Structure 1
Amino acid sequence: MTLQLGAVYHGFRLTEEKQIEEIHSLARLFYHEKSGARLLYLQNEDDNKVFSITFRTPPADSTGVAHIVEHSVLCGSRKFNMKEPFVELIKGSLNTYLNAMTFPDKTMYPVASRNDKDFHNLMDVYLDAVFFPNIYQHPEILMQEGWHYELEDRNGELTYKGVVYNEMKGAFSTPEAVLDKEIMASLFPDTTYGFESGGDPDDIPDLTQEDFLEFHRKLYHPANSYLFLYGDVDILEKLAFIDEEYLSEFSRIPVESAISLQSLFSAKAEKTAEYPVSPNEQLQDKTFLSLNFLIGKATEPDKTLAFQALEHLLLRTPAAPLKKALIDAGIGKDVLSSFSESILQPTFSIIVNGSEVEHKARFEQVIEETLKKLVAGGIDKKLIEASINLLEFKLREADFGRSPKGLVYNIKCMNSWLYDESPFLQLEYEQALEKIKTALTGNYFEQLIQERLLDNQHKTVVILQPRQGLAEQKSAEIKKRLAEHKAKLSTGEVDRIIEQTRHLKERQETPDSPETLAAIPLLRLSDIDGKAEELILSEQNEQGVKVLFHPIATNQIAYMNLYFDAAGVPQPKLAYAYLLAEILGKVSTEQYEYTELANEININTGGISYDVLAYTENDNDDVYYPKFRIKSKALVKKLPRMLEIIGGITASSEFTDKKRLKELVQQVKAALAMFLLRNAQQVAAGRVLSYFSPSAKYNEAGLLTFYEFMVDLEKNFDGKFAELSANLQSVAKLVFNKSNLLVSVTVEQDNYSRFQQAFDQLLSRLGQEQVQPRPYDFAIAALNEGLMTSGKVQYVAKGANFRKLGYDYHGSLKVLETILRYDYLWNKIRVQGGAYGAFAQFRRNGNMVLGSYRDPNLGETLKVYNQTPQYLRSFDVSEREMTKYVIGTMSQLDTPLTPPMKGDVAAECYIRNITQAMIQQERDEILSTSKAGIQKLADLIDAAMKQNYLCVLGSEEKICANKDTFKQIKNIFE
């Protein structure tokens, strides 16, 4: 379609048009003359279309107003006058992405779909939500989504409740989140970035209804908006719709939302803060030290890209000289880094975990000396080549997993567009990349280090120390503050809070009428393809090894997974298999010292990763297939080199360097501690499944059980080194054998021969033994644990295996996941309970779990789970609502997959003996799910809940208050 530059189309003037080769798109920039809205369209053939509207929303405090408005505008609007149109959309849309996101200075509302009608519906609901929300008519929306005083009777305890309030309590349960907040406050004492846009739980209750509404009134105007369209869409049709239905109702006004620059420091600043640990938790080696820099502006595309490479080469690879220097100096257990590019003035942080306050001076000294040494002597060119190659590979691969490409490009373009520069700066990376590549022959990175780090006076040192009982102290202070506040209230004011609490609960518990719900546009089941997507798989045999070949267009990239049978690893050595997966590629081999090996990997591949997991038989949890998986990718022309490198790693990794192994053990343990807190719902769910499921027990051995193993190993490292070294060598020998191997290769048909020719580079290095499977005898028992942390919220999980209770898997269980997650559990646990979310999972092998996350409750949530059968027995919805649930389920099933993801899915189905016919049967069962079919599942849920397998990870205070719920209570951190 040809459009004329300067012409006006449905109120939008086309102001710029250019081809962006890097993302294979024609970019068109429009300006809506009446309202002042900006619009960028990236035209290409991608059928996964993306729309978003973004507002510049810099906060002036830490009440979380931007975040709370983001939640709240999705709670009903002019056209869609219901409580939760966002949730109704999820239930009944074929969306491939549906979310809203608050950043430090902007709020984004993105949606994606491959279905044209659905895409239009999503745009309509989101535009109505942001421009005409119900927040002005219903103060209960702020109460529910943000915060409110809760009081049910005059003698009751006054408390805080609210979704964002509890979400942020959960967010700040990790020391990294606390550190990040303190770093931003230290670097930006005078601008918006010094505030917490998500909201600090200490400040959220300061947000008033007036300030809440004023924030929306001021900033949610088209003149402060950035609209974005991506993919294969009829742009004129979309412009007409946006203009006629929305923007034509507004006139351009000046909006004060510009973000001011932080004045640069003349000297380094220092700050000390605290994070909570349990009263019995040790304090030794639990301090974080950070050196933080403000390093320029986001509108310098070459510097933004360069710092991604610089961060990697300094701190993110085993060959990283700054990381190595800090570890060698004994300053901490692990070295982390952070480069934040999505703000006006990007920041760069060097962080040491597992340290002590007294190491601060040495920490700064080592950083300065190492950087000066690198500038004076030059950075190893091979290290530079490795880091640039990895950066370039990721840019050209453009594989963002389950995130639509358009969404990622939208975020990238906002990194300059929001600051009144061209939105194309971060999309057109070729010129910046060529500039960075001068580092291969010149001193580009050395100059960058000198200018942006060594000569930079705008830097801060932030120390984050652990403090026992801090969470309990804060909790007591909040209780005291609320009690004092209640005592000052008049009888009328107390009654008003009681009435507001009652009215909010009544609103929450009253369902929208069928007529109201009908306003949400709905697709027909006939809009859905009844045929399941084919598993792309051709079974081959190469030199006696089974190869699963997935002929898919991959843009000259080869994706290869190696599945080594791990059943020969004896049960007592399972933890060493998990540890082996953590350290491979980070220890030396017979050919390369570990830093050299890291460079070889990054120069010749797009990455190699290792993990251990058990795949269950499709319908029998007692039958499972332990695999040691190596995932790798490289340009097709570099396949031989990648296979040679993997061959060397599997055949000759050395486990005798005591110093290196101790460093890795400390790093793995420190990283695991952070993972457990960040993924607490996964930990709780995995733990409860391990009480009754052998395969889940195997997989849980890589979570909390593995962490406990690593704690002991680190504590007793010297005494256990010989055993550690021998066991790693033994496990590697048992696993890496030709007889154990199944290969999965995803590449174009024409390039498969390149793999065949190179395969011997790996096979010649593998062992030839026939390894016999070892029996595993896990102690399966209902431990029903309360896993205590210093956090302030809970992750509550309850599960069972329904096949062992006599029930079969049926596709309607996937629909039940949708119903529970977005109706019953959403209303009971999120809306009424104040948790951030809840979920349900049902697997073919019979394992099921109900879970909540960032949940202020415990016993109440378990009660909700136990009452699920009653909800299902009385489940009564219209045919339209039932259709909505089915469509929403299909959207999850039909999420677009990248080429490597398609290969992974086909390989997993092969391993688990899931056939195309089974996949089609599940799809047919989902599409035919009825109200009666859902009601019949009540007995399955009832039987599962009566097994009473439960696990809660959460605050020590809440778990101890409910100690009778558990058989065991323990702190997960020592």
Structure 2
Amino acid sequence: MELEIGKVYEGFKLVEKKDINEINSTGILFEHEKSGARLFYLKNEDDNKVFSISFRTPPKDSTGVPHILEHSVLCGSRKFPLKEPFVELIKGSMNTFLNAFTFPDKTMYPVASRNNKDFLNLMNVYLDAVFYPNIYKYKEIMMQEGWHYELENKDSEISYKGVVYNEMKGAFSSPESILFRKISEYLFPDTQYGVESGGDPDFIPNLTQEQFLAFHKKYYHPSNSYIYLYGDMDIIEKLKFLNEEYLKDFTKENVDSELLFQKPFEKIHENTIKYPISSTEKEEDKTFLSMNFSVGNATNTEIYLAFDILEHLLLETPSAPLKKALIDAKIGKDVFGSFEGGILQPMFSIIVKNSNEDQKEKFINIVRDTLSKLVKDGIDKKLIEASINIKEFQLREADYQGYPKGLIYSMKAMDSWLYDEKPWIHLAYEDTLSKIKTSLQTRYFEDIIEKYILKNNHGSVLIVKPAKGLEEEKEAAIKKRLKEYKESLSDKEIEELINNTNELKKRQVTQDSPENLKKIPLLSIKDIDLKAKKISLVEKEENGVKVLYHPEFTNGIIYMNMYFDTEGVKEEMLPYISILSTVIGKLNTEKYQYEDLVKEINIYTGGIRYAAETYSEKGDSEKFYPKFVVKSKVLTGNISKLATLLGEIIGHTKYDDYKRVKEIIQETKSRLEMIMFEKGHIVSASHLFSYFSPMGKYDDIISGLSFYKFIADLEKNFDEKAEEISNSLKEVAETIFNKNNLIVNVTSDEKDYETFAKELPLICQEIGDNRITKVEYKFEFGPENEGLMTSGKVQYVAKAYNFIKLGYSYTGGLLVLKTIANYDYLWNKVRVQGGAYGSFASFQKNGNMFFTSYRDPNLEETINVYDNAGEFFKEFNADDRQMTKYIIGTISDLDFPLTPSMKGERAAEHYIKHIKYEDIQKEREEVLNVKIDDIKGFGEMISSAMKKNYVCVIGNEEKIKQNKSLFNNLVNLFE
């Protein structure tokens, strides 16, 4: 059926259509006549359908009301009056994406599914949530998700609790997070971007229930909504559903959600703020220096794309001239940039990390002098070509690993649609890219630098420096404020607080009725494919090398991954495998200076990456396969160039440029520190495995906390160890890069395979061919049970062991156990009742299992939850409908859609781990046939694992010291 402009379909008037060839889609713009809702449909053949409803939600203060509301509307609604419909959907839908996002000026509620029935179910729950949430019925929702005074009895101390409150305490623990949040605040002080939409913990407790409800009433109206649909679907069916179930009940309103535009500054502003470090950390080399600029308007498609490219060109590669100038000046140990295009006034930042405040003037001068020289002398055209090419490759590939491409397109659409422009202007990038490519013959980027940076007074210099005792002062001030508040209350008011606390706890532990649970729509097992999908794999041999080939339509791209066995590397040399992965490709070779090498890579390929990886043997707690992986992608016509570059890098890298190696080690240490704040739950759980697991110990040495300590020591003592580091890298490279160690994994169209096969000898002739003796590693194990102390305001609490060592074996039923643990037991105990932002379980095929929490205000209480998990599962009970829900939710994870490159990597992983299709099908059948008694049977396994008492916590220094009896070792995480 061909839709016509001007016609009305199910209450929606078709306003405009546009073919968007860049993404093989047609954009169709509707307006719902009665309610005023806007709708953008991206029509294409993608079976992974996406729906999103978004609202323009400009905050007026930093109480975090948009963020708290984002959490809260998903806590029950008119049709679905459960406490947590969102969680019920995660447990029991075939979604390929399900979440919600708070941005500085909008709130988005996206879902995705490949199953049409499931897709409609997800739309239904989300639409009911945003338009008819239970927040008006239960004040406890805002208390739980936002903040509340917690007082259990009249003799207790009052405290602040709440999921978002604790989430943002965690966010404000990271100096990088503080920096980025304050950049916006100081660039746009008079607008919505001058406050924190996510909520600042210092201001969240100022939010009242009345303000909370008023925000929803004002902004969550269809007239202020942006509805998005994507994929291969019956659009008339979806329009009819939207109209009849929801939008026909609303009348168009004039919602004042105007976004304010910051008046340009007359001069650059300068600000200095502090961030907390622990009492044992040194303050030297821990300051962040940044220069930040407001750059135009988000609806300027050229600036939107050009600055994305310019940031890469100036700051994101080893050949980036501004990064190189700042590193050479030794004013800091890490340099990176940031371009935020998803706000009305985009902002561009130049950041130096691990510096000192007295370097400020030097920093400003180097930035200005370097950029002025680039403007005057011109930018190297090969550098420009390289940055444009890498961005164009990313745009055309549209491989957003882990996210449906329809979701990414929805975000790009909002980057113009929210600001009253057409939603496709950033998706139809071809004309804009053509204009930007004129920079290869003109002064395009030089003029942009001059206009938007050098001659732009709407900017800031922001210094974020460390301060000891800051966190302690803040906590003391909070305690004092709460104490004084309690003292100001009457007996009646205190009793009311106690009652509120008890009412909230009662709601949290009260189970939803079976009647309400049944209101959440559910698929049946019949809706699930009983057969696991096969990923094609053809074993070949080329030039004496094992090749795994995956025929896939890849749109003219060849994905080639090289897996080198690293079992010949000596035990004392293991950390150098990871260091090799960070330095290779960034050092000089016989033919190239490293700056020129990077340019060649970015001009002729889609990128080359290097990683140290480990793969466990299925069902074996001891055996694993360590690999050094070289990942590359290239258009078929450039495969010869890729082969030449890989041969040069692998065979002829020079490891004796001490200055360059030191720079990379400093940057690597810096990036690891960022990971520890952002992924502390994974870091603590992974480190735990090193206490008892050979693979866990190996991983810790090459990429975990042990590796961080190793690289921190190298950085600190580099000058004395420079020669040793260089020699070690050379030795490890010679051991790894060997034809006898190699498996090559190729994903491409069948017609392109022969092109690859002809070029493989080019690489192989540059690597060794000696017999390698495998090393037997003699690791030591034991329950170190470390409390890893930081200045952070929250904890990441992990407990783990290996169930195979206890005599149990892996079964697909453990995947269902994981679903139940994550979204029933841990969600209720650690998140809902404990106030942590999240808590997770994992049960792996090699027997390693863990429980871990994220941005957790508690410590001992969370460990107690883990310790009691076994008893919970021994007593576990569920009806047939609940079990079906858990099974469907588990299958949803197994059936997550894979891109061509992901399919190739998944097949190679299975090959290395000796996982056959029969194993995958057996696992699927075990999931589909799991019974309550199977889940109960896992209870004893969990209890036994928890009794081994292997614990690791990353968290607040004071909190860990208060619980020191739980640990064998207290360790300062950072120096």
Tell me how far apart the structure 2 counterparts of residues 264 and 382 of structure 1 sit (CA, whole Å). Answer: 34
- Secondary structure, counterpart of 2:71 in structure 1: helix
521-530 or 653-662: which moved more? 653-662
Q: Partner residue of 2:203? A: 203
Shift of 1:486: 0.5
- Aligned partner of 1:875 in structure 2 is 876
Q: CA deviation at 1:939?
A: 1.1
Indicate if the aligned counterparts of 1:676 and 1:703 stay in contact, CA closer than 8 A: no
Q: Which residue of 1 aligns with 2:730?
A: 729
Q: Distance in 2 between matches of 1:672 and 1:28?
A: 44
Q: Which residue of 2 aligns with 1:865?
A: 866
Measured against aligned partners, the alpha-carbon deviations of 1:719-748 in whole angstroms (never above 9, x if no partner) come to: 101101100110000000111111100101
1:747 & 1:973 partners in 2: Cα distance? 45
Q: Look up the match of 2:443.
A: 443
Cα displacement (A) at 1:535:
2.7
TM superposition score normalised by structure 2:
0.99
Does the CA-based 8 Å contact 2:621-2:805 persist in structure 1? no
1:132 paired residue number? 132
8 A Cα contact 1:789 1:973, kept in partner: yes
Q: String of CA shifts for 1:376-422, please: whole Å, max 9, x gaps.
A: 10000100010000010000000011211111000001000000011
What is the CA–CA distance in structure 2 between the aligned matches of 1:222 and 1:203, rounded to whole Å?
A: 29
Contact preservation (8 Å) 2:842, 2:849: yes
Aligned to 1:318: 318
In structure 2, C-alpha distance between the alignment counterparts of 1:472 and 1:309, rounded to whole Å: 42
- Offset, 1:3: 1.1
Residue 771 of structure 1 aligns to a residue whose secondary structure is: coil
Letter paired with 1:211: Q
In the alignment, the residues of structure 2 paired with residue 927 and residue 911 of structure 1 have an alpha-carbon distance, to the nearest angstrom, of 26
Shift of 1:462: 0.2
1:166 counterpart = 2:178: no
Paired with 2:671 and 2:906, the residues of 1 have a C-alpha distance of 28
Give the counterpart letter for 1:76 in structure 2: G
CA distance in 2, matches of 1:663, 1:5: 58
User: Equivalent residue of 2:753, what SS?
Assistant: helix
Give the TM-score normalised by the residue count of structure 1.
1.00
CA-to-aligned-CA distance 1:640-675 (integer Å, 9 cap, x gap) = 111111111111111111211221121111121112
TM-aligned CA deviation for residue 621 of structure 1: 2.3
Mapped to 2, the partners of 1:295 and 1:616 lie a distance apart of 48
State the distance in 2 between where 1:624 and 1:363 align. 47
Q: For each residue in 1:869-927, what CA deviation from the matched residue of structure 2 results, as whole angstroms up to 9, or x when unmatched?
A: 11112111111011100000111110000001001110001001111111000000000
Name the SS of the counterpart of 1:140 in structure 2.
helix
2:146 corresponds in structure 1 to 146
Residue 106 of structure 1 corresponds to which residue in structure 2? 106
- Confirm whether residue 963 of structure 1 aligns to residue 972 of structure 2: no
1:791 maps to what in 2? 792
Distance (whole Å) between structure 2 residues aligned to residue 159 and residue 689 of structure 1: 34
Shift of 1:526: 0.8
Deviation, structure 1 residue 286:
0.5
For 1:380, the aligned partner's letter is D
- 1:548 match: 548
Question: Pairwise mapping of residues 834-845 of structure 1 onto structure 2 (< 5 A)?
Answer: 834-845=835-846
- Cα distance in 2 for partners of 1:303, 1:893 equals 40
CA distance in 2, matches of 1:922, 1:778: 32
Distance 1:269 1:389 in 2: 35
SS of the residue 1:951 aligns to: strand
- Could you tell me whether the CA contact under 8 Å between 2:568 and 2:775 is conserved in 1? yes
Give the C-alpha shift of residue 544 in structure 1: 1.0
**Are 1:852 and 2:853 counterparts?**
yes
C-alpha separation in 2, matches of 1:299 and 1:26 = 20
What runs of 5+ residues in structure 2 fail to find an aligned partner? none
Instruction: Report the equivalent of 2:642.
Output: 642
Task: Give, in angstroms, the shift of residue 249 of structure 1.
Answer: 0.6
Amino acid paired to 2:74: L
Rounded Cα–Cα distance in structure 1 between residues aligned with 2:542 and 2:470: 60
Report matched runs for 1:35-54 at 5 Å: 35-54=35-54
Q: What letter matches 2:191 in structure 1?
A: T
For 1:910, give the aligned amino acid.
Answer: Y
Return the alpha-carbon distance in structure 2 between the equivalents of residues 27 and 16 of structure 1.
8
State the match for 1:944 in structure 2.
Answer: 945
1:794 & 1:370 partners in 2: Cα distance?
42
State yes or no: 1:424 paired with 2:418.
Answer: no
Matches within 5 A, 1:446-485: 446-485=446-485
Distance 1:262 1:856 in 2: 37
Check the 8 A contact 1:388/1:437 in 2, yes or no.
yes
Amino acid in the other structure paired with 2:788: L
Instruction: Report deviation, 1:833.
Output: 0.3
Q: Secondary structure at the match of 2:264?
A: coil
Task: Supply the distance in 1 between the matched residues of 2:135 and 2:529 (Cα, whole angstroms).
Answer: 38
Q: How many correspondences in the alignment?
A: 974
Tell me the distance in 2 between the aligned counterparts of 1:694 and 1:640. 40
- Aligned mates of 2:538, 2:922 — CA distance in 1: 22
CA distance in 2, matches of 1:372, 1:874: 70
How big is the alpha-carbon RMSD for the aligned residues of Structure 1 and Structure 2? 0.7
Equivalent residues in 2 for 1:463-862, closer than 5 Å: 463-701=463-701, 702-862=703-863
Question: 1:872–1:935: 8 Å Cα contact kept in structure 2?
Answer: yes
> 1:912-931 residue pairs with structure 2 within 5 A?
912-931=913-932
Deviations 1:507-548, CA, capped at 9 Å, x for gaps: 100000101100000000010000011132100001111000
SS at match of 1:153: coil
**Which whole-Å CA distance do the structure 1 matches of 2:387 and 2:730 have between them?**
30
Correspondence for 2:901: 900
Counterpart Cα distance in 2 of 1:119 and 1:247: 18
Contact 2:564–2:737, Cα closer than 8 Å, also in 1: yes
Identity %: 56
Match of 2:399 in 1: 399
TM-superposed CA distance for 1:475, in Å, is: 1.2
CA distance, structure 2, for counterparts of residue 663 and residue 402 of structure 1: 31
In the alignment, the residues of structure 2 paired with residue 966 and residue 771 of structure 1 have an alpha-carbon distance, to the nearest angstrom, of 42
Q: Quote the Cα distance in structure 2 between the aligned partners of 1:4 and 1:716.
A: 70
- The secondary structure found in structure 2 opposite 1:486 is helix
SS at match of 1:937: helix
Structure 2: which amino acid aligns with 1:627?
K
- What's the CA shift string for 1:467-525, capped at 9, x where partnerless? 01211221111111111111111101100000000010001000001011000000000
Q: After the TM superposition, which parts of structure 1 deviate over 6 Å for at least 4 consecutive aligned residues?
A: none
Instruction: List gaps (5 residues or longer) in structure 1.
Output: none
Alpha-carbon displacement from aligned partner over 1:771-823 (angstroms, at most 9, x marks no partner): 11111111111111101111011111111110110001111100010001000
Letter in 2 for 1:746: T
Q: Deviations over 1:8-64 (max 9, x none)?
A: 111100000111101101111000011000000011110000000000001000000
- Is the deviation greater in 470-479 or in 337-346? 470-479
Distance between the aligned counterparts of 1:469 and 1:712, measured in 2? Answer: 26
Deviation sequence 1:322-381 (CA, Å, 0-9, x none): 011111111111101110000000000000001111111110000111001001100001
| Equivalent residue number for residue 354 of structure 1 | 354
**Residue type of the alignment partner of 2:185:** A
1:7-156 to 2 correspondences below 5 Å = 7-156=7-156
The SS at the match of 1:876 is coil
Shift, 1:237, TM fit: 0.7
Contact 1:613 1:698 in 2 (8 A): no
Per-residue CA deviations over 1:915-943 (Å, capped at 9, x if unaligned) read 11110000000000111111111111111
Could you tell me whether the CA contact under 8 Å between 1:814 and 1:926 is conserved in 2? yes
Q: Report if aligned partners of 2:144, 2:835 keep a CA contact under 8 Å in 1.
A: yes
Alpha carbons 2:57, 2:219 under 8 Å: kept: yes
